[in-house]
Structure 1
């Protein structure tokens, strides 16, 4: 029995590929080291991250910590903004958008803080380099492979050099909260290497103890008189083997010779999350992870902790035998020539993996790069763009059964409210109530407009984030949580209720000044000046309508604010309706302006189709058709995240084949082996999304799109396989969540659901649309009437099995 247990334990620790069980929908793999950072494999525990390149002679591992932010909290209020607001609005009311925009360029912008401080940027933690020394006589390398096992959250590198097999394992433990690397060889005394830590700036390395290095520093606060974020990271090397030797040099290197294997454990902390004890906390984490004999179980415990989240949900789709076994980079290129459905399953499972890896309760939300950066100055500051990007980061969380990963976003929004109240009054006058957030924010609670009104004037960022707070309630049904967030929702609604004005032609209530995110139009045929500043663009109105509706419903549930809820309902009745142009597409602005770029990447005015639910083929077929015409007009191109959003749009329209076309466009290789320096929109070899450059929101937009193709619940009922592509004729998904909290698993063949398992959530009332052409329906084995909808009452955790016969 003991031997059997030992064998089972060994099997648990071995990677699937070693066991000959590599799964195309659960493994990324490559047959050579990473040549660029976008080929390295991301690992993380929601706070710490690393990306190893699998180099043979020299290995580069980029280390990350999610709160590595430069900058500091600062006052960006501009007293001229509120003073100029009446004039700006009057110009807009007179149809003088150009003049209004010019005035905004000089007055309605944030000002440089008088007391210092700067916006800052998300930054890398450090570089780790491992230089290997090989003593084998035969210098050739054979059977090289590196891979990421999504079932374990462990990456591997393996190769044979001479007659020695070298393997490396990399993981970031959730429970121990450290980075771990195991270097191994199948012959005694074959492992020799040297490790160094470094950073391009603001990092000093020193010997801490024997076999232990520290890198520490302070990031720029933007204020010479104020400390920035301080950080400390420790790397400890633990060699194994009777002949192993280790020496730690004062210049910040550790050398190991003649080891059988070696562990490298890295801990880190910052003053942002840990306060003044950040260095002590980093040292504590390292010590707790590395007492004698503790490393025997560190991987087993790390995998177990990760699997509690990952195994809740997943997808299996048909395999193309010609493609499924290819290395992931070559598989990605082949996908443009031939179909490979299981690549979509891999992409979905990878998306959930990335979420689990990049955020956790008590941490920060995933930023524009998740938690992975390879430089001090990340693109777009690696911040939180609130006109689509941070929202897209969170689309898969609830359907993907990862509800607790919402907590960092909820906490971030709570921290933004006081700053948002100040910005409301500073930019919109003393009569402005509530709080406002424009199109970007950071860990320093930035809520002012962006520095250029053409893109920075959008002021519905707070309304959009409130939609996420409400969505979280729809899935968990926790009234205590609803009472906690209700003041935030109400405050956001109060801002719009107190600042919207009436446009002159119809008397509609509109936002002003504002913009439709990052898009431009021509105000007239004679003046070809690109204009952004406007009144009441469609997305603004959709968001305000949704926000008001959610506040009304929340007030009713909590039995509070009945008078205010009544006022909001009256305001809803005075908002502009959706408008369809004479050419059949949904209008983006109050007037049917000509776009500067008809194929612009933002399709913000379709927010009501997705992620909102104001437009659907079921409830508003004419508007749904107008959305379709809009998408046809915009085309299937765009940046990475834009293609991802369009997958969701087409899925909501019920067109699975078109959604799949957009998925293939999203997975267009950002570069190929033939042209490795020409980065375009699409997907990098490690399946990171390319804007370009790397921007992770497209990954989660694509993950969400796959989910929307398989199940939807936004119209008040559960729709199974609502946008299934023809080539996904069979498959299975399990553990998906729907609004109301129920959990759904489905098996299908010939494109038709055969078996459906439902587990009750907080809302006992379930309504499921019967699959088309179903002739017989069995409910827990007993036949029931086959009607258009199946209505059920399920207690929480009560299970029902439905089977359909055609």
Structure 2
């Protein structure tokens, strides 16, 4: 007996082999998950650097208050604040040189092929401006501006006591409190999930003790005025084409001050001054005209809607809307005295003594918080810095890097129960197809669509301006992995119908682009790279360009497999599926070299940088599932040796990736060791990636500099330590580290449409459960220690059969399974 329907459990079923029973998943009330403990971090002084400010966001708008006492700066962001414009990147030389590039590669003259690519096989124009794209058509994500509050205190005393600056993740609210002289001051800020604007609430516990002036600024391209009683900043960004006048994105920000307990508002030419108040509410409305021509009307309407409400209502509505997302998952790893330490001190203490389990839970929930805060349905996906930046020239343009970083931003989306936050990325991917089809034709004379490493809001799909990193051409295929993953977690066939043409188009490109390598008869991607990494040729030259790479083979194989699966589910395209299956069989398999490691290229080249941050040839271990402990133990062991040789210390996002690798290898202690490394305090203002990254004081990941992908990758890695389902079987606590002896979680998701929970003590499971969100069949891998277990189905005692250590059960939507040990 392999499976049983829960609805049929009316009679007793004898369960064989009780010792093999299950270590599983979620309690019956998982739909009502509530985070039990306060989740927050704090500082005991104002921010000294931007990376100490507190990030707030509602998926479209961002604010970052620094908590200054005499002058407070609140950074303002809007997700579509991009310079640049659509551009012609077609390079007619590229397709004419393609045959010669391939010939040189197949002749082993990779250095000559690379030289030819540098001259011919790049985008037309300036490309990304070598990461300085603010004033070229590629553009850059930019700060909207700064909201500046200059405070005047009635008590001239310089004494400040009881200072506390806190980010509360339960409510998505930043607060500052202190006593100056005899007056207690408190501030709260949030970016409203209900009202879609920024809210700043200021209070003093003495009458007429609140006096301040409001201003705004940004480094360039802005005008500031007072419009009625609103402070208005507006401007227009460069499009990168016309250098004489601004023709790019238009933007605006309006600040309205409400004084519910009296006081006076004095408008100036370019500021607002509040005098003799004890409470003030600042409403901050921001918007651009990116796909929003009525943005100026939006600025007014959002203010008018919120102005009618008192602060408690604004706050309550915001918190309720935010918690509908955040409260879906709870992770409890215990509490400690360090919970009350300022976060900067806590990070330093953690490096000396790792006995701080709740820091891992905080970091996990901070990752979820950042994803909730940096994207939402109908908006843009999070970029390299989420939606937070403090510059005009954001590092690497704050764009969508497609050789891992953009994808890593979305690794937590499904497993941490934020599935709808995957959709902005999926919509963005669909919008690249038309441009990608033109790029495929112009550069490769191929059908279908392609994109390379660079992505922005202007549908840039061409190779980058520097082939060493810009030639990677499997990015569209990697994006399609996310399209199919969303289906695997939701089983939404209507959605699958919608995205299947995108997957098919990406697969169609490779049916044309793949070419036979005469040296080995494999089909290869040529030219290509193993992202950003290089090797030494026998002549000693360092080269990036190659014919085929292990990552390419793994991604293309996955794309073909997923496209075939999608077509079969939809009952279409059988002939095309046969073609994909044939070409898939002619790709070089993932191969173990003589040193026991997985080959990164088709040949055993000497690595130019043995500890390189990219470990692209382990894509098949994570996020792919080609390599697994269960099905490919030899490849898994080779992956382990590969990671050991690569080393642990690296840039922030790379260490986050390695957490996921080690979790997939079921080595929880090594995954935890990488988490410790990822949380290494980092305050250097540098882009030097050699010395490795860590975490800034506000928990932003240091690449360095700040890149948000490490936060998302670390969050996903912690989830991967707690539950895995990529092989088709659900396994709880596959990589539980020794440091997390006792704990629980609720609300994590698994493929097939399930939601899971677990409790454990001294490393042993005590309770586990599964709830079906959609109808389906679930295969549950049982732990070794499964004796003395009770089972409840839909809250009623039941027995279930186990065969070969696996429980297979069919469930209807809403059915629940609870196991207690």
TM-score clears 0.5 = yes
Where 1:757 maps in the other structure, the secondary structure is strand
Q: Deviations over 1:347-406 (max 9, x none)?
A: 001110101000001110000000001011100000000000000000000001011111
C-alpha separation between the residues in 2 aligned to 1:87 and 1:70?
A: 37
> 339, 347, 353: which one pairs with 2:369?
353
C-alpha separation between the residues in 1 aligned to 2:121 and 2:259?
A: 60
> 615, 622, 645: which one pairs with 1:603?
615
- Does the aligned pair in 2 maintain the 1:459–1:514 contact within 8 Å? yes
Asked if residue 795 in structure 1 is aligned to residue 797 in structure 2, the reply is no
1:647 matched to which residue of 2?
Answer: 659
C-alpha separation between the residues in 2 aligned to 1:247 and 1:641?
A: 48
- Does the aligned pair in 2 maintain the 1:219–1:229 contact within 8 Å? yes
The alpha-carbon deviation at position 771 of structure 1 amounts to 1.5
The alpha-carbon deviation at position 762 of structure 1 amounts to 2.5
Counterparts of 1:177-188 in structure 2, within 5 Å, are 177-188=196-207
The alpha-carbon deviation at position 504 of structure 1 amounts to 1.8
C-alpha separation between the residues in 2 aligned to 1:707 and 1:391?
A: 16
Where 1:570 maps in the other structure, the secondary structure is helix
2:23 matched to which residue of 1?
Answer: none
> 22, 27, 31: which one pairs with 2:44?
31
1:506 matched to which residue of 2?
Answer: 520
Asked if residue 692 in structure 1 is aligned to residue 704 in structure 2, the reply is yes
Give the number of equivalent residue pairs: 768
1:62 matched to which residue of 2?
Answer: 75
> 548, 552, 556: which one pairs with 1:544?
556
- Does the aligned pair in 1 maintain the 2:237–2:246 contact within 8 Å? no
C-alpha separation between the residues in 1 aligned to 2:601 and 2:691?
A: 33
- Does the aligned pair in 1 maintain the 2:650–2:692 contact within 8 Å? no
- Does the aligned pair in 2 maintain the 1:273–1:363 contact within 8 Å? no
2:264 matched to which residue of 1?
Answer: 245
- Does the aligned pair in 2 maintain the 1:25–1:346 contact within 8 Å? no
Counterparts of 1:18-167 in structure 2, within 5 Å, are 26-112=39-125, 118-167=137-186
- Bigger relative contact order, structure 1 or 2 (CA pairs below 8 A, ≥6 apart): 2
Unaligned runs of 5+ in 2: 1-34, 128-134
The alpha-carbon deviation at position 503 of structure 1 amounts to 1.1
C-alpha separation between the residues in 1 aligned to 2:301 and 2:632?
A: 58
Which has the higher mean CA deviation after the structures are superposed, 771-780 or 661-670?
Answer: 771-780
The alpha-carbon deviation at position 785 of structure 1 amounts to 5.1
Q: Say if 1:117 and 1:31 are closer, same or farther in 2 by CA, change over 3 A.
A: closer
- Does the aligned pair in 1 maintain the 2:106–2:519 contact within 8 Å? no
Q: Deviations over 1:450-499 (max 9, x none)?
A: 11001100000100000000000001111111010000000000001111
Asked if residue 191 in structure 1 is aligned to residue 203 in structure 2, the reply is no
C-alpha separation between the residues in 1 aligned to 2:123 and 2:376?
A: 32
- Does the aligned pair in 2 maintain the 1:241–1:261 contact within 8 Å? yes
Q: Say if 1:284 and 1:560 are closer, same or farther in 2 by CA, change over 3 A.
A: same
Q: Say if 1:785 and 1:207 are closer, same or farther in 2 by CA, change over 3 A.
A: same
Where 1:497 maps in the other structure, the secondary structure is helix
C-alpha separation between the residues in 1 aligned to 2:529 and 2:684?
A: 37
2:251 matched to which residue of 1?
Answer: 231
Asked if residue 168 in structure 1 is aligned to residue 187 in structure 2, the reply is yes
Q: Say if 1:134 and 1:271 are closer, same or farther in 2 by CA, change over 3 A.
A: same
Where 1:81 maps in the other structure, the secondary structure is helix
C-alpha separation between the residues in 2 aligned to 1:633 and 1:299?
A: 51
- Does the aligned pair in 1 maintain the 2:255–2:283 contact within 8 Å? yes
Where 2:63 maps in the other structure, the secondary structure is strand
Where 1:272 maps in the other structure, the secondary structure is coil
The alpha-carbon deviation at position 567 of structure 1 amounts to 0.8
- Does the aligned pair in 2 maintain the 1:413–1:465 contact within 8 Å? yes
Q: Say if 1:669 and 1:296 are closer, same or farther in 2 by CA, change over 3 A.
A: closer
2:313 matched to which residue of 1?
Answer: 297
The alpha-carbon deviation at position 281 of structure 1 amounts to 1.3
Unaligned runs of 5+ in 1: 1-21
C-alpha separation between the residues in 2 aligned to 1:731 and 1:497?
A: 49
Where 1:397 maps in the other structure, the secondary structure is helix
Where 1:335 maps in the other structure, the secondary structure is helix
Where 1:205 maps in the other structure, the secondary structure is strand
2:462 matched to which residue of 1?
Answer: 448
C-alpha separation between the residues in 2 aligned to 1:575 and 1:216?
A: 54
The alpha-carbon deviation at position 680 of structure 1 amounts to 5.8
The alpha-carbon deviation at position 169 of structure 1 amounts to 0.2
C-alpha separation between the residues in 1 aligned to 2:592 and 2:576?
A: 32
Counterparts of 1:185-584 in structure 2, within 5 Å, are 185-210=204-229, 212-224=230-242, 227-242=247-262, 244-250=263-269, 252-275=270-293, 277-291=294-308, 293-321=309-337, 323-339=338-354, 340-429=356-445, 432-524=446-538, 527-584=539-596
C-alpha separation between the residues in 2 aligned to 1:655 and 1:319?
A: 24
TM (norm. structure 2) is 0.92
Which has the higher mean CA deviation after the structures are superposed, 179-188 or 221-230?
Answer: 221-230
Where 1:336 maps in the other structure, the secondary structure is helix
C-alpha separation between the residues in 1 aligned to 2:246 and 2:311?
A: 40
Where 1:440 maps in the other structure, the secondary structure is coil
- Does the aligned pair in 2 maintain the 1:97–1:531 contact within 8 Å? yes
- Does the aligned pair in 1 maintain the 2:126–2:465 contact within 8 Å? no
- Does the aligned pair in 2 maintain the 1:24–1:342 contact within 8 Å? no
C-alpha separation between the residues in 2 aligned to 1:772 and 1:220?
A: 62
Q: Deviations over 1:393-444 (max 9, x none)?
A: 0000000101111111111111100000000011112xx0100010110000
Q: Deviations over 1:88-114 (max 9, x none)?
A: 000011111000000000000111189
The alpha-carbon deviation at position 637 of structure 1 amounts to 1.1
Q: Deviations over 1:539-565 (max 9, x none)?
A: 000000000001101111111110000
Where 1:202 maps in the other structure, the secondary structure is coil
The alpha-carbon deviation at position 592 of structure 1 amounts to 0.6
Q: Deviations over 1:511-560 (max 9, x none)?
A: 00000000000121xx2221000011000000000000011011111111
Counterparts of 1:762-773 in structure 2, within 5 Å, are 762-773=774-785
C-alpha separation between the residues in 1 aligned to 2:496 and 2:315?
A: 38
Q: CA RMSD in A?
A: 1.7
- Does the aligned pair in 2 maintain the 1:232–1:268 contact within 8 Å? yes
Q: Deviations over 1:764-803 (max 9, x none)?
A: 2011111122223322034545651111111011111112
1:11 matched to which residue of 2?
Answer: none
- Does the aligned pair in 2 maintain the 1:670–1:680 contact within 8 Å? no
